[in-house]
Structure 1
């Protein structure tokens, strides 16, 4: 045999076809003589025409060469003795695979050394010393070792043509690396600081101070400035200590924007030390500053005002230690001011306020009750020229005169219309004006507001005893947006003002009206007002001349605002009615309010088709249709909250609670029992009053008869019987016969 070399060929992949060309060994350049022991070679070397092989030769043709593996030995195959490999060859076949090539039509199941599982190589374990013993099972390209010609054995290799026995060969267990254990996770500690602060922001300030005692770390978190951007102590000023307040202001002062210390009198001795302990970065970003009810020195107030140029709201009413110097600091250091409340600060006058008006162009809300010097025409002219105020509170300012109010509205010597004689000036931006208890005002000053405050929504002129109906006649006709009107204790106002209001456009928007202690107002003015004001929500009528007719009309108007067929929809308060201390209001009118609140009315009948199934005479189910009329019920959507005579108020409140919670049956029973009790009480009172009257009348007649008998000495003979209805009989010449008789009254109807 000539010298030839045959290279080793690995097994094909699971996706390769079983064609004969892919399974043949590659021929070399030099011709290789065939031997009888290799019939497959003879069949494949014919280059002229392919020869159709028989079954045995076809099987031998599919033999594939693979790398050395002892798997053949484990299958019980003997060494080949039919073919002898001689020394001197370049290469030889290390082992031969007896498995047929895998094809798409193969019915035999794949074994452990097929290409699907081995990635082109045998997955069976190698023996020590074999070429692949040092390779890992997961290496993709193992290195092939060519055989040395001296190592080739001369023993023939037997070919077993029997079908190999398919046995399941278990794969070796591969040791996996253990999954690394997750370290202990502290949920709160491992959270980002921003997330923890956001969680604490849902707590109330009182709860934050409590949880700060958990640990040192929690203490630092609870006093973080991000939690104290708004420090409003109004709801818990009695429970928080001065030390906690000082600590918050020192640690979170740079973040605080809203500082409300209303009622914190415990800081009385801490203000001076607080100012010395603050650094340059603390409490310098305030936008709202409120110290109402605090005991604070003037120097401490000035300290806060000087350090906060971004202040927008300043609220310090009833502070008797601030003066015009404080106003000067505000004017020079708070140019963005929008609200200033200095009510009842008697040490401030218009000289200090004038500087604030000139230096703060954004000022829209000025509350300066009991401020002195409002008769200064220069200050009022400054208000007219600025014209930026939307709310002006001037209660109890005796210095406010008609001339000053005219200058504030019209200016100094304005041009007037030739036809109407009205001043031609820009309209004022006032929305809320309070000039209550300004005793120097008369009708002239209030008339100046007419035609010049078209945006007015709230107006209070309480306790101005000099005002009459003429003061409000033109004003009510020119304020189409009026929602709140209070004229308490203006005794000279009559029903003409209410009738004028009901005819104006303001009646459509009016929500609150207070005419308490206006003793000249009664049903004549209130009844048309109730019919003309569909949006009225609050009506104060105490100490007036109204009667039960007003209560009946109020109940009817609220009932017209709507009803619902849904019982689960609870009503809401539609009208707050104050009617105590009214001499003409009786329990009958109060009963009308209770009946109107709890009245469930019957609506229209609806025809509904009902379907029922029944078993007929033949045993089959039949569907029966019937038209049924259903009566719907209408429940009120709004009710009245009444404040009446204190002896009835407890029953009225209980009835209101039952109606507002939808317990209509319980409310109706309470109203019926209360009405029965009131009727019985009145009857008992009338009966008692009648007995005492008859007793006094009888005693007077007896005394008169005795005096007559003494004077005349005898009575007429015809005087018989009970002529006067007193139950006594008289005889001729004598006094009453038979003594006292029992009164024949019906007695108590209740008993």
Structure 2
């Protein structure tokens, strides 16, 4: 029957039901699907083609599955959260995180549990350690030595009695100006076989320590400035065994003329930086001649405070064609006139220290005579020293920074 010929009482009921359905949909309470009560048959028939058209249009798409968002149960959430805990992380990932933690925090974390203690003292985290400023050094140093440390810095420290039982892997170590018992120092050095850079400046040594050091054949830089207690024969054995030394600082030691002869006669021919200052009447011209003939590669040479050296030593030094830095401070028998030709006889000379010899107007005239040479610009020697005067701050060992550092 045409719509215009329908009974009038049927039309309002249809429109009324449609209006009620649209109102409920707008309120968000109920949907207009076929499961709803009071849904006219005509609306179901009119909606069916639309739903069928949507199903047909969805065919051919890549994602044909329908996804449903649902809330996880509490038991599943707890199981998921437990999988993301620290206990389930692999050791490699935890070690990577601990790599960025300071020393004090790392020690606190080692008290949490057995696993964290094992990881906190893993060898990979203790590669380089700086303990400068620590008051009770003995127990801390004992523990650090057990971790397999490679770079150790603890200068100007007070170290109590300690006993090392196993071999050490240290390659770089600075114990300069520390207060340490001789037995403890012997215990440390005698277990070292891989040393490459070592500073024992100002310490009391022994022939046993020199004998242990002679077994570190890879030693490249050695600082024994201000040391004492080593005999001349033990020093000769040490220098003969460590034939790869490139920098040697042996200034102001409690040495006799026999010690000086052991140095100039046994030091490695590869040495490029040598500090032999402070030997006043123990360093002679013959010693300089022997040194120059054996070590022609010297680039930096410090002979300061050698009062026996005179102007006749300068022609000998001119044989060092690679000499760039020469220190003759307080060699009072070398006069100004003998220094003016050094820039011509030493073609690569760039630094000259003559403190105590030339000063005032004479220094100004010498600078004019030698314009390409910097005169009296380096009052302190940096030969084989772990932290030169140019870098007084920071935990550096021969231009290498320590990762773990004790901070007060």
Following TM superposition, by how much is the alpha carbon of 1:389 offset from its aligned partner in structure 2, in angstroms? 0.9
Equivalent residues, number? 323
1:352 aligns with 2:216: no
Aligned counterpart, 1:334: 216
1:268 aligns with 2:160: yes
Q: TM-score, normalised by structure 1?
A: 0.38
1:396 to 274, 278, 282: 278
2:139 to 222, 230, 243: 243
1:464 aligns with 2:331: yes
Aligned counterpart, 1:521: none
Following TM superposition, by how much is the alpha carbon of 1:405 offset from its aligned partner in structure 2, in angstroms? 0.7
Aligned counterpart, 1:301: 185
Cα separation, partners in 2 of 1:375 and 1:308, compared to 1, 3 Å: closer
The answer to whether the 8 Å contact 1:349/1:372 transfers is no
SS in 2 for 1:448: helix
The answer to whether the 8 Å contact 1:487/1:514 transfers is no
**Aligned positions of 1:241-640 closer than 5 A:** 242-250=138-146, 252=147, 254=148, 256-265=149-158, 267-269=159-161, 271=162, 274-275=163-164, 278=165, 280=166, 283-320=167-204, 322-331=205-214, 333-369=215-251, 370=253, 371-373=255-257, 380-383=264-267, 386-398=268-280, 399-410=282-293, 428-450=296-318, 452-490=319-357, 495=361, 498-504=364-370, 507-508=371-372, 510=374, 513=377
Following TM superposition, by how much is the alpha carbon of 1:294 offset from its aligned partner in structure 2, in angstroms? 3.2
Mapped partners of 1:330, 1:241: distance in 2: 23
Following TM superposition, by how much is the alpha carbon of 1:497 offset from its aligned partner in structure 2, in angstroms? 6.0
Mapped partners of 2:314, 2:258: distance in 1: 16
SS in 1 for 2:301: strand
Mapped partners of 1:206, 1:512: distance in 2: 43
Cα separation, partners in 2 of 1:291 and 1:225, compared to 1, 3 Å: same
The answer to whether the 8 Å contact 2:150/2:172 transfers is yes
Cα separation, partners in 2 of 1:375 and 1:176, compared to 1, 3 Å: closer
The answer to whether the 8 Å contact 1:401/1:445 transfers is no
Aligned counterpart, 2:97: 199
Cα separation, partners in 2 of 1:261 and 1:514, compared to 1, 3 Å: closer
Following TM superposition, by how much is the alpha carbon of 1:509 offset from its aligned partner in structure 2, in angstroms? 5.8
Q: TM-score, normalised by structure 2?
A: 0.66
Mapped partners of 2:140, 2:212: distance in 1: 29
Mapped partners of 1:439, 1:486: distance in 2: 15
- The structure, 1 or 2, with the larger RCO (C-alpha pairs under 8 Å, 6+ apart) is 2
Following TM superposition, by how much is the alpha carbon of 1:409 offset from its aligned partner in structure 2, in angstroms? 1.4
Larger radius of gyration: 1
Aligned counterpart, 1:641: none
Mapped partners of 1:410, 1:112: distance in 2: 104
Cα separation, partners in 2 of 1:375 and 1:444, compared to 1, 3 Å: farther
Aligned counterpart, 2:49: 111
Cα separation, partners in 2 of 1:496 and 1:117, compared to 1, 3 Å: closer
The answer to whether the 8 Å contact 2:176/2:199 transfers is yes
Cα separation, partners in 2 of 1:347 and 1:306, compared to 1, 3 Å: closer
Mapped partners of 2:369, 2:131: distance in 1: 47
The answer to whether the 8 Å contact 2:137/2:157 transfers is no
Cα separation, partners in 2 of 1:494 and 1:428, compared to 1, 3 Å: farther
Mapped partners of 2:68, 2:314: distance in 1: 100
Mapped partners of 2:120, 2:376: distance in 1: 45
Mapped partners of 1:497, 1:348: distance in 2: 40
Mapped partners of 1:213, 1:326: distance in 2: 37
Aligned counterpart, 1:160: none
Following TM superposition, by how much is the alpha carbon of 1:312 offset from its aligned partner in structure 2, in angstroms? 0.5
CA-based RMSD of the aligned residues comes to: 3.8
Mapped partners of 2:337, 2:69: distance in 1: 102
Following TM superposition, by how much is the alpha carbon of 1:179 offset from its aligned partner in structure 2, in angstroms? 4.5
Mapped partners of 1:367, 1:346: distance in 2: 13
Mapped partners of 1:403, 1:175: distance in 2: 95
Which structure has greater helix proportion? 2
